[in-house]
Amino acid sequence: MSASQSYIHCQNCNFSHLCLPLALNTDEMDKLDTIVKRNNPLHKNDYLIESNTPLTSLYAVRTGSFKSYIEDDDGEYQITAFHFPGDIIGFDGLREKRHVSQTQALETAMVCEIPFHMLEDVAEKLPNLRNQLMKFMSAEIQQDRELVMLLNKRNAESRLLYFLISLSKRFEERGFSATSFLLPMTRTDIGNFLGLTVETVSRLLTRFQKNGLIKVEGKALEILKKGDMEQMLTDYHINIDSI
Amino acid sequence: MSASQSYIHCQNCNFSHLCLPLALNTDEMDKLDTIVKRNNPLHKNDYLIESNTPLTSLYAVRTGSFKSYIEDDDGEYQITAFHFPGDIIGFDGLREKRHVSQTQALETAMVCEIPFHMLEDVAEKLPNLRNQLMKFMSAEIQQDRELVMLLNKRNAESRLLYFLISLSKRFEERGFSATSFLLPMTRTDIGNFLGLTVETVSRLLTRFQKNGLIKVEGKALEILKKGDMEQMLTDYHINIDSI
DNA sequence: CGTTGGGTTGAGTTATTTCAAATAGTGTGG
DNA sequence: CCACACTATTTGAAATAACTCAACCCAACG
């Protein structure tokens, strides 16, 4: 561990309330902390995980952001998640102890690496940690299923609204502004994730802006009418033109 | 436990190779077996799990089939999975120890109930069982993500093909015919799951039949050209009319 | 024997995609 | 720091896959 990073521990991490330490007491956190490796930063487009490689570690995002995607034989790919600080990456590989997706940095980013065999050892002694791991996986299942519903039942407008609102919430949970942030991913990434074309995403962002819901300028997004946007998601009969 | 059911154990269950016992030795299986409750059969449309109820048990399907779905405030619902013998139901509720989806029998069906607090106790002593649980959850995440890709990237034809092929595989794994089986769910259910309308599902089934891929008569399905169907899924540029 | 739920088929509509083209932005090597 | 190349984004017009609406059939069932 380099000197410059030696002071970083779960105990003083800004995102521990979202991360694995969540349910652990100080002692337990110390145990977890001893197995965490904190590596050099990754840069934009660097791979954190390549698919089909053996699963040796899980990763917790410390700073920056990532996208994970699966790819089929035709090279067609599907972004399955965007990851922000506190998120744990790698659960989909547990089944075959082999990564089934790729994870790439969207910007300069750092992670905490948690070697899997050591995590298993620690978890052996810490029921809380085991529980926490299960909860994380369960949450992922729940989220994926909500995404399926979104894709199957909602139109392009709702999907993008949902995406923006959910980003906003995630930034807020992490102590960032809920109403003003940078989109770390491209429009193409957003479209890929939501099952829309780039063109549709772009057109909708423009339309949201014209209707005064948001302000976009490149990567910079400002959410102007969060309440209205949230309501459009709940009562999905309301659409953007009724605002 | 009723006398008529007392002879049923994981050891002599036809589906243990797909179920929790998969990675357990005989001793371990015995331990698991002692906590499993085998209840009376459920009938078509009976609820196995109602949403928002506390999670007290996981369930393993023993016979018959189920559908699970999430529902939003508008009453709109999304079927998230169909379950067949050996499948474990309930992982999405672990996060909040509360079920987030409903599970309903598609036909007369029986389950093995696994009380969750006892499962945790047993898992405490059996690393293999813990592992198996994680693998099941990880598999569910993986499957859900493949479903997202299917919904986002494939057209109606591919989606339904995928559905039929995946049913076929699941029946085969369970020792049933891979080419001739009954669809336990309605066309509406299939459409709901795949993000299509009933009409589209019906039209496609008719078309598949006209092109000689399958034979359908009500619930009865016969898969005539499995190879062709699988290839259409792999090379998704090939479509039904090129067969 | 009327009612109800599931399924099929046809015709017209529409949300989103595709294709095309122009503009803006970013990074690299000289 | 500029020029060039490449990628990302926006906007418009035309095409289309799947949906909606409507009608009808069939089987199960009280």
Question: What would the DSSP string read from start to end of A61-113?
Answer: EEES-EEEEEE-TTS-EEEEEEE-TT-EE-GGGTTTTB--SEEEESSSBEEEE
Please give the Cα distance from A160 to B155 (Å, whole number): 21
- Minimal CA separation from A136 to chain B, in Å: 7
Whether the per-residue pLDDT at B218 is higher than 60: the answer is yes
Q: Once rounded to an integer, what is the mean pLDDT over residues A5-26? A: 87
Give the DSSP letter of residue A40: P
- Minimal CA separation from B95 to chain A, in Å: 4
Confidence category of residue B3, pLDDT binned at 50, 70, 90: very low
User: Lowest-pLDDT range, A174-188, B111-125, B170-184?
Assistant: B111-125
- Bases of chain C below 7 A from a protein C-beta are 6-11, 15-20, 25-27
Here the tokens at position B239 are 């479509």
Measured from the CB, is A153 under 7 Å from any atom of strand D?
no
Kind and range of the H or E element at B57?
Answer: strand B57-63
Whether the per-residue pLDDT at A84 is higher than 60: the answer is yes
Instruction: Check if B132 contacts A (Cβ < 8 Å).
Output: no
Measured from the CB, is A187 under 7 Å from any atom of strand D?
yes
Task: Choose the mutation target among B72, B76, B94, B143 for the interface with A, i.e. most A CBs under 10 Å.
Answer: B94
Whether the per-residue pLDDT at A190 is higher than 60: the answer is yes
- The separation, in Å, between residue B231 CA and nucleotide C19 C1' comes to 29
Spell out which residues of chain A touch residue B91, defining contact as CB-CB under 8 Å. 137-138, 141
- Sequence-separated (6 or more) residues with CB below 8 Å from residue A122: A31, A32, A35, A129
Confidence category of residue B40, pLDDT binned at 50, 70, 90: confident
Please give the Cα distance from B31 to A162 (Å, whole number): 45
Q: Once rounded to an integer, what is the mean pLDDT over residues A31-39? A: 91
Output the pLDDT for position A194.
98
Output the pLDDT for position B7.
72
- The separation, in Å, between residue B231 CA and nucleotide D25 C1' comes to 35
DSSP B73-117: TTS-EEEEEEE-TT-EE-GGGTTTTB--SEEEESSSBEEEEEEHH
pLDDT digits (tens, 9 = 90+) for B56-110: 999 999 999 999 999 998 889 999 999 999 999 999 899 999 999 999 999 999 9
Please give the Cα distance from A94 to A134 (Å, whole number): 12
Instruction: Check if A236 contacts B (Cβ < 8 Å).
Output: yes
Output the pLDDT for position A221.
97
Q: Read off φ and ψ for residue B83, nearest 5 degrees.
A: -120, 140
Mean pLDDT of chain A: 92
User: Nearest Cα to A164, choosing from A109, A237, A232, A90?
Assistant: A232
What pTM was computed for the model?
0.94
Q: Once rounded to an integer, what is the mean pLDDT over residues A211-232? A: 95
CB contact under 8 Å between B151 and A151, yes or no, is yes
Whether the per-residue pLDDT at A1 is higher than 50: the answer is no
Confidence category of residue B243, pLDDT binned at 50, 70, 90: low
pLDDT digits (tens, 9 = 90+) for B130-143: 999 999 999 999 99
Instruction: Check if A121 contacts B (Cβ < 8 Å).
Output: no
Specify the amino acid at residue A172.
E
Confirm if A69 and A80 have CB atoms less than 8 A apart: yes
- Sequence-separated (6 or more) residues with CB below 8 Å from residue B103: B47, B48, B49, B59, B66, B67, B68, B83, B89
Please give the Cα distance from B201 to B190 (Å, whole number): 7
User: Lowest-pLDDT range, A107-116, A191-200, B21-30, B62-71?
Assistant: B21-30
Confirm if B96 and B52 have CB atoms less than 8 A apart: no
Please give the Cα distance from A134 to A120 (Å, whole number): 13
pLDDT digits (tens, 9 = 90+) for B151-210: 999 999 999 999 999 999 999 999 999 999 999 999 999 999 999 999 999 999 999 999
Q: Once rounded to an integer, what is the mean pLDDT over residues A97-102? A: 95
Q: Once rounded to an integer, what is the mean pLDDT over residues A52-71? A: 96
- Bases of chain D below 7 A from a protein C-beta are 8-13, 17-22
Confidence category of residue B2, pLDDT binned at 50, 70, 90: very low
All structural domains of chain A: 3-149 (2.60.120.10), 154-242 (1.10.10.10)
Q: Which residues between 144 and 203 in chain A have a beta carbon less than 8 angstroms from any beta carbon of chain B?
A: 144-149, 151-153, 192, 194-195
Please give the Cα distance from B12 to B10 (Å, whole number): 6
Measured from the CB, is A209 under 7 Å from any atom of strand D?
no
Output the pLDDT for position A8.
82
Output the pLDDT for position B204.
98
Please give the Cα distance from B84 to B62 (Å, whole number): 8
pLDDT digits (tens, 9 = 90+) for A122-132: 998 898 999 99
Whether the per-residue pLDDT at A211 is higher than 80: the answer is yes
Binding residues for strand C (Cβ < 7 Å): A 44, 155-157, 195-197, 199-200, 203, 218-219; B 186-188, 198-199, 201-203, 205-206, 216, 218-219
Q: Euclidean distance between the first and final Cα of chain B, in Å? A: 54
- The separation, in Å, between residue B15 CA and nucleotide D23 C1' comes to 46
Instruction: Check if A95 contacts B (Cβ < 8 Å).
Output: yes
Please give the Cα distance from B196 to B159 (Å, whole number): 9
Facing A94 at nearest CB: one of B95, B134, B235? B134
